[in-house]
Amino acid sequence: MGMNTSSLEKTVYQRGELLCAINNQPRAKPGLTEEVQASRSTVDRAITELETAGCIERRENEYYTTLLGELSSEWYRKFQDNVTALNESQEILAQLSRSTPLDTSFLQGAHVRTADPVAPENVIEPSIRILKTATRLRGLAPVGMMVYITIIHECATTNGLSVEIVAKNDALDSILELDRAKLIKLVNDGMLEILTTSADLPYALWLMDTDKETTAGITTYNEGGVSGMIMNDSPEAIDWAESEYERYRGLATNTSTKGIIAE
């Protein structure tokens, strides 16, 4: 009979560092003691527990992971990565509701910035730098920001940037009021498409494509303006952002951009 799930989980959680050390390289006890910087008695207990769990086995004087141990080691590392990502993002996450769609795959390895209340818009500078070299921008717009309209117009007219925006219905008027003339020109030139939705947009999710790569980001807002930004260019983060953007795009109810601008 196999070990019950709760016992295995507890063993891997408590002895994960030693398990990962063995999975990285089979070692004898002295080497393990040095690698994990623990006492010999602690290593002895950990080895006994991991052997009992079926995660490691002894061959001569060295310990090796079993298939169960290798998979458990991978699980432990992913768990540690998730905790690290959540810890680094906790200030921004604290501002979002429990129902906000977000995945740890987007947070792992992300570049996280929290806004300074004195100059909150400075937090988006890294995304502006990417936008200036981008060929395509897709994004959700829960609010309107003049700085983005100005940069989008500049990049579209000089670099041929193509833009698609899914705007919340009640945010559309404020977006148009920022600079209607520039927006009309972009629409007429075929560089801008605005879709509208009644769905709640909890953040500004965006994807920027350059000649070299795609970067995804989330910009959050509070009553004082921009509150934070998370950026990531990992394949997993891009996949999640693409899927989430397409989900919101599918909820859009008005795709007649010229009709919107003319209203």
Each residue of 184-207: pLDDT tens digit?
888 888 888 888 888 889 999 999
Contact yes or no for 238/109 (Cβ under 8 A): no
106 phi/psi in degrees, rounded to 5:
-80, -25
Q: Looking at the domain 5-77, which fold is it? A: Arc Repressor Mutant, subunit A (1.10.10)
Entry pTM: 0.77
Task: For 95-262, give the CATH class.
Answer: alpha beta
Q: Say yes or no to pLDDT of 209 above 90.
A: yes
Domain boundaries, the chain: 5-77, 95-262
- What pLDDT is attached to residue 234? 95
**What is the bridge-based pairing of β-strands 225-232 and 111-114?**
antiparallel
Give the C-alpha separation, 142 to 181, whole Å: 21
Residue 4 CA, chain-centre distance (Å), reads 33
CA geometry: angle at 120 spanning 218 and 243, to 5°? Answer: 5
Tokens of 9: 């989980």
Q: Say yes or no to pLDDT of 146 above 80.
A: no
Residue 102 CA, chain-centre distance (Å), reads 8
Which is more confident, 19 or 174? 19
Q: Say yes or no to pLDDT of 149 above 90.
A: no
Q: Say yes or no to pLDDT of 144 above 80.
A: no
Which is more confident, 136 or 182? 136
